[in-house]
Amino acid sequence: MIDKRLTMRLTNHWNGLRGGLVLPQWEDFDIAKFNDIWQQCCGWSVKPGDVNTILFTYEHVGNSIKQAVGSDLTGKVFSSLLQGFPGPRVKAVVRNELTEGMFADHFRNFPAARIVQKIDKVIKKLSPVIEEGRFTDEHNRVVRYRSCLLPFGKEDTVTNIVLGLSWKSY
């Protein structure tokens, strides 16, 4: 389990890129620096949808996550039903799509579903959300995880989010 090293490396890089800016720019993020952990990461583009929605598109899903989820979510979209800014309702939308919708079988016992539900917090705070936790999977094993969600953008508008995730079953 790469755990803290993964979250610390990504967060430290994010802070270095940010400098005095509100958000670091996505174009400055150097994926090559993370070849050894990039397979444990997801990346989303963030764009306004219709008048009341924000769209999150999976631009990258690392092989480790694809295997754990059992599917390649690259290109899949989930959305918020909010007026230009995610808030409390985004949790319900994401929870519905991940735990009841088309991704339900893949995400039911995978830590990414719990973490993705916090994506609105990243957009509101314009700063990383770092989390660790545990849960019991369908095989009655304890799964421990660490994660970070990192926003990128221009000025105070989030254009991309990176998720770094490590987990281990006991």
CB-based contacts of 88, cutoff 8 Å, min separation 6: 120
Rounded CA separation 115/145 (Å): 10
Q: How far apart are CA 17 and CA 63, in angstroms?
A: 26
The 10s digit of each residue's pLDDT in 11-38 is: 999 999 999 999 999 999 999 999 899 9
Count of helix runs (H) and strand runs (E) in the chain: 6, 6
Domain 3-169 has CATH 3.30.450.20: yes
The pTM assigned to this predicted structure is 0.78
pLDDT digits (tens, 9 = 90+) for 132-145: 888 877 778 888 88
DSSP-H helix ranges across 19-166: 63-69, 88-95, 104-107, 111-116, 119-125
Q: Which of 130, 162, 124 is nearest to 22 (CA)?
A: 124
For the stretch 41-91, pLDDT in tens is 999 999 887 766 778 899 999 998 888 777 888 998 877 654 344 444 444
Banded pLDDT at 120 (limits 50, 70, 90) = confident
| Residue 121 pLDDT class (50, 70, 90 cuts) | confident
Dist CA 114 CA 133 (whole Å) = 10
Res 116: pLDDT: 65
Across the chain, mean pLDDT equals: 78
* 113 or 104, which is more confident: 113
Q: Where are the domains of the chain?
A: 3-169
Decide: 146 and 166 in contact? Cβ < 8 Å: yes
pLDDT score for 7: 92
